Amino acid sequence: MTATNLSIPALRDAVRGRVIVPQDVDYDPTRFTVSAVFDDRRPAAIVRAADVEDVRRVVTLARETGLELAIRNGGHSMAGHSTTDGGIVLDLRELKGLAIDPVRRIASAEGGLTAGEYTTAAAEYGLATGFGDTASVGISGITLGGGIGYLVRQHGLTIDNLIAAEIVTADGELRHVDVEHEPDLFWAIRGGGGNFGVVTRFTYRLHPVDTIVGGMLMLPATPEVIAGFIALADEAPEELSTIANVMTAPPMPFLPAELHGKLVLLALMSHAGDVEAGLRTVEPFRKLATPIADMLRPGRYPDMYPPEEGEYRPLAVTRTMFLDTLDTGVAQTIIDHLEASDAPMRVTQLRVLGGAMARVPSDATAFAHRSSRIMANLASFYQGPDDRARREAWIDAFATALRQDDQGAYVNFLSDEGEEGVRRAYPSPTWERLAAIKGRYDPTNLFRLNQNIPPRADLEARTAAA
Assign residue 125 the CATH number of its domain.
3.30.465.10
Whether this prediction's pTM lies above 0.85 is answered by: yes
Nearest alpha carbon to residue 463 among 442, 433, 432: 432
CATH code, 326: 3.40.462.20
Looking at the fold, whether 346 and 293 belong to one and the same domain comes out as yes
The C-alpha atoms of residue 283 and residue 387 are separated, in whole angstroms, by 42
Domain identity same for 84 and 216:
no
* Claim to verify: residue 170 and residue 262 sit in the same structural domain: no
Q: Of 52, 44, 112, 51, whose CA–CA distance to 83 is shortest?
A: 44
Picking from 91, 110, 141, the residue at the C-terminal end of a domain is 91
Task: Examine the domain organization and report whether 252 and 312 are in the same domain.
Answer: yes
**pLDDT reported for residue 214:** 96
- What is the full per-residue pLDDT of the chain (466 aa) written as tens digits? 345 578 899 999 999 999 999 999 999 989 998 887 888 899 999 999 999 999 999 999 999 999 999 999 988 888 889 999 999 999 999 999 999 999 999 999 999 999 999 999 999 999 999 998 999 999 999 999 999 999 999 999 999 999 999 999 999 999 999 999 999 999 999 999 999 999 999 999 999 999 999 999 999 999 999 999 999 999 999 999 999 999 999 888 888 888 888 999 999 999 999 999 999 999 999 999 999 999 999 999 999 987 765 566 778 999 999 999 999 999 999 999 999 999 989 999 999 999 999 999 999 999 999 999 999 999 999 988 889 999 999 999 999 999 999 999 999 999 988 889 999 999 999 999 999 999 999 999 999 999 999 998 765 555 555 5
Task: Determine contact, residues 237/273, Cβ cutoff 8 Å.
Answer: yes
Q: What angle do CA 349, 260, 398 make, to 5 degrees?
A: 35
pLDDT at 1: 37
431 and 370 within one domain: no
Residues 229 and 311 reside in one and the same domain: yes
Which residues are registered as beta bridge partners of 98?
A: 109
Provide the number of structural domains found in the chain: 4
The residue segments making up the domain with residue 195 are 98-208
Same domain for 164 and 240, yes or no, is: no
Residue 445's nearest CA partner among 224, 169, 234 is 169
In this prediction, residue 315 carries a pLDDT of 87
The per-residue pLDDT for 255 is 87
The answer to whether residues 233 and 155 belong to one domain is no
Q: Can you give the pLDDT at residue 2?
A: 46
- Specify whether 293 is located in the same domain as 260: yes
Residues 247 and 352 in one domain: yes
For residues 289 and 393, membership in a common domain is answered with: yes
3-state secondary structure the chain: CCHHHCCHHHHHHHCCCEEECCCCCCHHHHHCCCCHHHCCCCCCEEEECCCHHHHHHHHHHHHHHCCCEEEECCCCCCCCCCCCCCCEEEECCCCCCEEEECCCCEEEEECCCEHHHHHHHHHCCCEECCCCCCCCCEHHHHHHHCCCCCCHHHHCCHHHHEEEEEEECCCCCEEEECCCCCHHHHHHHCCCHHHHCEEEEEEEECEECCEEEEEEEEEECCHHHHHHHHHHHHHCCCCEEEEEEEEECCCCCCCCHHHCCCEEEEEEEEECCCHHHHHHHHHHHHCCCCCCEECCEEEEHHHHCCCCCCCCCCCEEEEEEEECCCCHHHHHHHHHHHHHCCCCCEEEEEEECCHHHHHCCCCCCCCCCCCCCEEEEEEEECCCHHHHHHHHHHHHHHHHHHCCCCCCCCHHHCCCCHHHHHHHCCCHHHHHHHHHHHHHHCCCCCCCCCCCCCCHHHHHHHHHHC
* Domain end position, chosen among 56, 91, 126: 91
Last residue of a domain, one of 91, 113, 148: 91
- Is the domain of 345 the same as that of 265? yes
